[in-house]
Amino acid sequence: MQVKDKIVIVTGAGSGIGAAAAKHFATHKAKVVVSDIKKEKADKIVEEITKDGGEAIAIVANVSKFDEVDALIKETVSAYGQLDVIVNNAGIGPRNMTRTGEYALEDWHDVIDVNQTGVFYCMKLALQQMKKQGHGNIVNVASLAGLKASINNISYSASKFAVVGMTKSAALEYATKNIRINAVCPGYTESALLDKLLSVRPDMDDLLKSVIPMKRYGQANEVADAIVWLASDNTKFITGQTITLDGGTSL
């Protein structure tokens, strides 16, 4: 995939899909900014990338803080001169999954702050830089929960529907500016979020797999493949799209 020498930021890159994407970009010779809220996690991924001959730096940022996102973009441009790609992957789930009427206000605000407002901040500031330099590519990590109902999960579902909407709206706005914006929508994928759910409800494992036609969960590296493909020059005529990776669940 054609991403060689591209300057790429991946948020939430300390683990899961973000870490897999960062490593995959580096394998294809991109220069990766590994961003995470936890420095030790970001540093670990950078170490793994450089050990394998790739190029990466770590920048700590909480995407729900506008000033920290601003610093992330500015530090990247200062280090590399431009920003070709940003992958807005950082995301969280609620502490407690429950029906909307009983949903905790704290869970609502925390999830929306990271998953929705954080993506907006990253898009807003990255687009300013990309417009200035005359090109750019944004890949947002949404979810199957942003395309169909997800019970007992109102904040997560709302935030991911918003990411899909923001992707399409911004893609339309910047289609003539040489800036492409797309999203991936993973289904049930092996991740910290899924581990958390299964730790609370072990019986959910069989239930979830029963609604996945492929009878297995997705792998982080499978989602990373789609992210890098959308960010590459192989997909120059694709914008405003959502690529669903769910093993057939949405069928």
Q: How confident is the model at residue 163 (pLDDT cuts 50, 70, 90)?
A: very high
- Return the closest-CA partner of residue 5 out of 29, 34, 32: 29
Pick the residue with more confidence: 251 or 159?
159
What mean pLDDT do residues 118-136 have? 98
How many Å apart are CA 194 and CA 151, to the nearest integer?
15
Q: What class, spelled out in words, does domain 7-188+219-244 have in CATH?
A: alpha beta
pLDDT at 1 over 80: no
**37 pLDDT higher than 90:** yes
Pairing between strand 179-186 and 7-10? unpaired
| 193-224 confidence digits (pLDDT tens) | 777 777 777 787 888 888 899 999 999 999 99
Burial of residue 117 (CB within 10 Å: 0-12, 13-18, 19+) is: middle
**What gap in Å lies between CA 180 and CA 241, rounded to an integer?**
10
Residue 194: per-residue pLDDT = 78
Q: Calculate mean pLDDT across residues 161-178.
A: 98
pTM here is 0.95
Predicted pLDDT of residue 31: 98
Mean pLDDT of 138-156: 95
- What is the Cα 117 distance to its own chain's centre? 13
Query: Does residue 121 have an active-site annotation?
Result: no
Count CB-CB contacts under 10 A for residue 67: 10
Please list the alpha-helical segments (H only) found in the chain. Answer: 16-27, 39-51, 66-80, 105-111, 118-133, 154-173, 192-200, 204-210, 220-231
Element (H, E) at 86: strand 85-88
Cβ neighbours of 172 (radius 10 Å): 12
Spatial CB neighbours of 181, under 8 Å, sequence gap ≥ 6: 123, 137, 138, 139, 140, 167, 170, 171, 174, 239, 240
What does pLDDT average to over the chain? 95
Choose, from 80, 121, 156, 174, the residue flagged as catalytic: 156
> Average of pLDDT values for 28-35?
98
Share of the chain above pLDDT 90, in %: 87
With bands split at pLDDT 50, 70 and 90, how would you rate the model's confidence at 242?
very high
- Is residue 15 within 8 Å of residue 195, measured between CB atoms? no
Q: Name the nearest CA neighbour of 85 among 193, 192, 169, 1.
A: 1
Given this model, what pLDDT does residue 188 score?
A: 87
